[in-house]
Amino acid sequence: MTTYQEINGTNIELVSSDPSNRLEGQIWYNTTTNKLKAFGFTSAVWASGGNMDTGRNGMGGAGTQTSALAFGGDTSPGGGKVTLTEKYNGSSWTEVNDMNTARYQLAGCGATNTASLAFGGGPPGDLANSETWNGSNWTNTPSLNTGRPLLGGAGTNTSALAFGGKYPPTNATESWNGSNWTNVNGLNSARMKLAGSGASNTSALAFGGQPYPNSTAATELWNGSNWTEVGDLNSARNRLAGCGSQTAALAFGGATGPLSALTESWNGTNWSVQTPLNLGRSSMGGAGTNTSGLGFGGYDPATAATEEFTAGGSPTTVTFAVS
């Protein structure tokens, strides 16, 4: 994009009204309002949202930035796995009806906080339990064929995908059609502690995780029949969170040894580094899109912190204070 400086240099123009056709980098002084202004594009930013009622890690997440659901998790230290469910309305969390089975290290998906799916988890044992949320209550549904914690998930409560997880890690992938789970072709790279995004059981993305013992940056794309390896994350990590679609995803947090605040955005071909989280943490919940995401809870240790991601690139006019 051509900038104002490239066309007119760096002089500040004096105008009686704000320009209607503004260019990036343009600066002017409005002699009517006596204000110094500039036009540019915003940077991506994480901003603090309302804290969860109960801090925890290893929970499931679903929904959007302004309509999210958090379920299950571990309140340690001093707590343990829980059935707690909370709804987010864009500013605050409210506790709603509990899950049927307490667990953490589970996966979740769903387009809204009124239609979500929870599956897998543990410990003790490798849980196969699956539950669906209708906006008011959780209902037990047919279980996964392979019980496992530390798995990834994508899709909706009627069309979902479960992949990876377990210890030692598996490449097992299962497809949910709203009634049953069916084994399908596995990931190319068996791993646990991975993240996922996607709209359905035919369109999903799996990224990061731990094949064991090291973290991976591997990213795989699911087309409804097979997984294909695509462009890697810029930074390998495990216990990260994700949200978005197969072609527009967000990866954030995790662990690379120390807790990570790293954030990356996927455009369908490559990952690009974004503004990091304000609080580095792992095992957090995620919801939303790669332009309007939500991260909540996580291990710091068990935190209630919530952050809202807004992508950069929006045009804006800034007014400077002049003394």
- Each of the 323 residues of the chain gets a pLDDT tens digit; together they read 444 344 444 578 899 998 988 887 889 899 998 888 888 777 889 999 999 999 999 999 999 999 999 999 999 876 799 999 999 999 999 999 999 999 999 999 999 999 999 999 998 889 999 999 999 999 999 999 999 999 999 999 999 999 999 999 999 999 999 999 999 999 999 999 999 999 999 999 999 999 989 999 999 999 999 999 999 999 999 999 999 999 999 999 999 889 999 999 999 999 999 999 999 999 999 999 999 999 999 998 899 999 999 998 767 676 765 54
Q: Considering the entire predicted model, what is its pTM? A: 0.87
Q: Give the residue from 115, 96, 117 showing the smallest Cα distance to 106.
A: 117
State the DSSP code for 231: P
* Residue in this structure with the two tokens 């967000």, named with its chain if needed: 250
User: What gap in Å lies between CA 76 and CA 26, rounded to an integer?
Assistant: 52
Q: Which of 265, 251, 58, 270 is nearest to 151 (CA)?
A: 58
**CB atoms closer than 10 angstroms to residue 34:** 8
Q: What are 179's two structure tokens?
A: 């009634």
- Cα distances (Å, whole numbers) of residue 186 to 150, 163, 170, 175, 240: 16, 8, 9, 11, 21
Q: Which residues pair with 234 in a beta bridge?
A: none
Q: How far is 192 from 208, CA to CA, in rounded Å?
A: 9
Question: How many residues are present in the chain?
Answer: 323
d(CA 195, CA 243): 8
Which tokens go with 267? 């455009």
State how beta strands 249-252 and 263-266 pair. Answer: antiparallel
Question: Is the separation of the CB atoms in 236 and 216 below 8 Å?
Answer: yes
CA neighbor of 68 nearest in space, from 3, 133, 117, 113: 113
Q: Residue 99 is which amino acid?
A: M
Encoding tokens for residue 280? 């580095």
Q: Give the DSSP per-residue string, 165-177.
A: -TTTT---EEEE-
Task: Give every CB contact of residue 3 below 8 A, 6+ residues apart in sequence.
Answer: 23, 24, 25
Structural domains of the chain sorted by starting position, each given as residue range(s) with its CATH number in brackets: 4-41 (no CATH), 55-310 (2.120.10.80)
pLDDT tens-digit profile of 153-171? 999 999 999 999 999 999 9
Q: Is 4 helix (H, G, I), strand (E, B) or coil?
A: helix
